[in-house]
Amino acid sequence: MGWFDGLFGGGSSSGSDPLAKLDPKLREFLEKESPLKYQQKQEPQQPLPQPVQPSTQQQRPSSSSESSQPVVPAESLYQDGRYAHLWKTYRPLEAVEADTKTEHERLMDVLDAYKDRRAHIGRTALENCALEQIEWNECIKDGPLSSRMTMCHAEMKKFERCYNMQSRLLKALGYLNTYNRSAEMDERIQIHADTLYHRMLEQEAAIEKAKAEGRPAPALDFATNIALPKAAAGSPSTPVAPAAPAIPIEKDPSIPEDIRKQFAEKLAKLPVAERSAEEAALRAELAAHAEMSTRVTELRAAQQAAREQRKADGKATIKDRVSGLFGQ
């Protein structure tokens, strides 16, 4: 059929361009006059080879070459030592802020930390008593009429007791008097306080059951199992039981007399089963206050030494002179 077959695919040419064998002038005429614009098939382009990115495992130095790699802080995205020269002068934001704080700000940090720990005990106790609080709220909303007429007094007392006991146990376990403790250890103390409280409830139920059946009531000894986690002393593992105080708190000569009288009045108002936990909590509060006072005394001593050094170097500031006049 001639060149029409080749143009519309009817030919048997196996070449990639069916117009390759036509006369150049004829080919130019067809390209201009044909309603179907013929486009020559392009050879498929081979994809360019992509540069191989070294994997994390390839970048990670072996144990034999770790000592030769530059050290970079954990904040760097490239732990293989890249850009280590840029990190030589890096300091964490906390360290920079600590160096630029005034004496008053450092003192307030100690006092605020103590107040925050006390407030955090209340929030933690509420978390441990969430079920009791929900039970009280549900009673007020949808409880029996007889209970709602008394504002669900029984449920309220149950929640109130849980909150007070959880607070005492948290203090006794050292939740108040340790600074710079990890969140993990705080959670362990919280869980252990909740465990001790429910152990007390189980023992009280066993005592009531024994009395109802006419059997000798077992002794309530949960307070002797109060344990301080080792993390408060430096180890994150198993709790250990603290040594029981040899002298009752109301007779301890190391405590001022007026404070001993206050403690004795508090203990006298509590049931016998709760007095040991309350005594441990009171001792923990004393220890926390003593720790805070020690930190404040050390901070003031360091500030006074710094002022004396500036005076000796002839670099005393106006604030140093004013503080000296007031004996601070």
Looking at residue 3, what is its pLDDT? Answer: 47
Looking at residue 284, what is its pLDDT? Answer: 86
18 inside domain: no
When pLDDT is averaged across residues 198-214 and rounded to a whole number, the result is: 89
43 inside domain: no
209 inside domain: yes
Looking at residue 239, what is its pLDDT? Answer: 43
Looking at residue 36, what is its pLDDT? Answer: 55
pLDDT of 76 above 50: yes
Looking at residue 131, what is its pLDDT? Answer: 95
Lowest mean pLDDT among 47-51, 117-121, 247-251: 47-51
Lowest mean pLDDT among 38-52, 83-97, 268-282: 38-52
When pLDDT is averaged across residues 288-300 and rounded to a whole number, the result is: 85
Q: Predicted confidence band at 164 (pLDDT cuts at 50, 70, 90)? A: very high
200 inside domain: yes
Count of domains forming the chain: 1
When pLDDT is averaged across residues 242-267 and rounded to a whole number, the result is: 77
Residue in this structure with the two tokens 């050094």, named with its chain if needed: 309
67 inside domain: no
Residue 205 belongs to domain spanning: 104-312
72 inside domain: no
pLDDT of 37 above 90: no
**C-alpha–C-alpha distance, residues 320 and 52, integer Å:** 63
320 inside domain: no
**C-alpha–C-alpha distance, residues 30 and 23, integer Å:** 11
**C-alpha–C-alpha distance, residues 249 and 283, integer Å:** 8
Asked if 281 and 249 count as a contact pair (C-beta separation under 8 A), the reply is no
Residue type for position 254 = S
Looking at residue 39, what is its pLDDT? Answer: 54
326 inside domain: no
- Per-residue pLDDT tens digits for 244-255: 555 777 778 888
